[in-house]
Amino acid sequence: MVKCIKCGEVDAIAKSGIIRGKQRYFCKRCEYYFTQPALVAEAPTHRRHQTTIMDIASALQVSKSTVSRALQGHSDINVNTRKAVLEMAHQLDYQPNLLALGLAKSRSYTIGIIVPEFINSFFPYIIIGAQQVANPAGYHVIICQSNEELETEIANTNVLMSSRVDGVVASVTAETGNLDHFLKFQRAGIPIVMFNRICDGLDVSKVLVDDYDGAYRGVEHLIQQGCKRIAHLGGPQNLQIGRQRLKGYLDAMRDYNLPVEDELIVYYNLTRENARPAAQQLLDLPVPPDGIFAVNDPAGIETILVAKSKGVCIPHDVAIVGFSNEPTSALIEPGLTTLAQPLDEIGKTTVQLLLNEIESEDSVLPSTRILKTQLIVRASSLKKP
């Protein structure tokens, strides 16, 4: 109930708006305007505010420079003062302004990682290894996934460039024919290290596995199991992994005097949905292969699934070898023989090379690290006991 503050009338009161946060009323009896505290709560403001050094300084009644030096661990700050500053920073959930710090030191302390896909576990495992080196060194990681699309990969390079990253590690998509869109980083003096999937056009450091040796040993294993008509389910030839694994296959076949027929080599674009028809094409040949070396585990697993759907006995009718040692390769029935890549080491080595270039005051000549694979033999290839 609202009562006129002039005449005391109750029944002749009407609202006439809000003024300075208070409800305004009009008394029809005495024609008097008056205000009382608003009956409705004011709409909350959602202004964003991150705790700053000034907030800590104000709370402790000390100077901004004292807080700054305490947070940085300067020796001229009293131990008790530093303890009080750190406790208040924790209480107020203070986070350093990395942008300001980066501007002061011409560093962002972030590195970008570009990978082509997350469908398989290969790249996530490499990223875990990369972060195990980057984070202890004081660097944060921005992860971009290109979804096997060149256009998205180009957009990712633009995002990382705009984010002022200090360096980039990248593995390209199956569509990538050249690395021109990475040149912007080189022009800006931002180091790049490529890993796993690379193509020509950029003189930068690289971390690779010995794709040729791994492929050779995988095919040799099939030959030793008695396979004589061995097919290759290959990858894109614009990528080095596609070319080197094909070369390992061809050289193993020639070294063991086995014929290489064009119909026994089928390529796919590294997407899972394209692996199945490629495997189907090989298994539908008038004279199907008795062994298949797949460029990676997803292709090997799809080959197993297609073979089983057709009633083909593995490994009696066809023995299968993959490449990469995906976790699912041990779970499928029969287990997939594969070439294991040191994923953790790839991630760690790639980022360590990048940090060496970032931290170096002198220009660093590009280098290439080649890591070995390990043949993991499972039931999919064991024709012989």
Residues 348-374: pLDDT tens digits? 999 999 999 999 888 889 999 999 999
Report strand pairing: 338-340 vs 374-376. Answer: antiparallel
CA angle 163, 191, 211 (to 5 degrees): 115
Q: Is the overall model pTM greater than 0.75, yes or no?
A: no
Could you tell me which CATH number the domain at 211-342+374-381 has?
3.40.50.2300
Report strand pairing: 265-267 vs 32-37. Answer: unpaired
Whole-angstrom distance, CA of residue 244 vs CA of residue 267: 14
Q: Which of the four pLDDT bands, split at 50, 70 and 90, describes residue 2?
A: confident
Whole-angstrom distance, CA of residue 332 vs CA of residue 308: 12
Among 86-90, 180-184, 242-246, 324-328, the range scoring the smallest mean pLDDT is 86-90
Q: Tell me how far CA of residue 84 lies from CA of 62, 71, 98, 157, 281, in angstroms.
A: 11, 10, 22, 43, 71
pLDDT of residue 59: 83
Per-residue pLDDT at 325 exceeds 90? yes
Instruction: Find the helix packing angle between 79-91 and 64-71, rounded to 10°.
Output: 90
Among 43-52, 134-143, 156-165, 257-266, the range scoring the smallest mean pLDDT is 43-52
Instruction: Please determine whether the domains at 53-102 and 113-206+343-368 fall in the same fold group of CATH.
Output: no
Per-residue pLDDT at 43 exceeds 60? no
Whole-angstrom distance, CA of residue 351 vs CA of residue 229: 42
Whole-angstrom distance, CA of residue 292 vs CA of residue 278: 12
Average pLDDT score over residue span 332-353 = 96
Among 94-98, 225-229, 254-258, the range scoring the smallest mean pLDDT is 94-98
Average pLDDT score over residue span 222-229 = 97
The class of domain 53-102 in CATH terms is mainly alpha
Average pLDDT score over residue span 186-193 = 94
Superfamily of domain 113-206+343-368: Response regulator (3.40.50.2300)
User: In this structure, how many other beta carbons lie within 10 angstroms of the beta carbon of residue 196?
Assistant: 25
The more confidently predicted of residues 15 and 284 is: 284
pLDDT of residue 104: 53
Mean pLDDT of the chain: 89
Domain boundaries, the chain: 1-40, 53-102, 113-206+343-368, 211-342+374-381
Q: Which of the four pLDDT bands, split at 50, 70 and 90, describes residue 38?
A: very low
